[in-house]
Amino acid sequence: MSNFINASQLQDYVGKEVGLTDWIEVDQERINQFADATGDHQYIHLDAERAAQTPFGTTAVIYSWVMRDRRTPCSFPTVAM
């Protein structure tokens, strides 16, 4: 199978698993490092006890940017450069 497809072939991949990768653990330490890097130290991300008092429940809420940024390392094994 070719590693290269063009835009007209994308529809052929809808609903199919492509380029499965290993899991990446996003633990509190990684979230704390992200907070330090971005300067965003909002309690909802860093203070599990205080976050538990919100509608989100018992744990600190992960930054959406952390998950978005994880896509790039996850795609390395699947994308030919």
Give the pLDDT mean for 31-49. 86
Sequence-separated (6 or more) residues with CB below 8 Å from residue 71: none
pLDDT tier at 40 (50, 70, 90 boundaries)? confident
Give the pLDDT mean for 26-36. 85
In angstroms, the CA 39 to CA 33 distance is 10
Burial zone of 7 (CB within 10 Å; 0-12 exposed, 13-18 middle, 19+ buried): exposed
| Predicted structure pTM score | 0.54
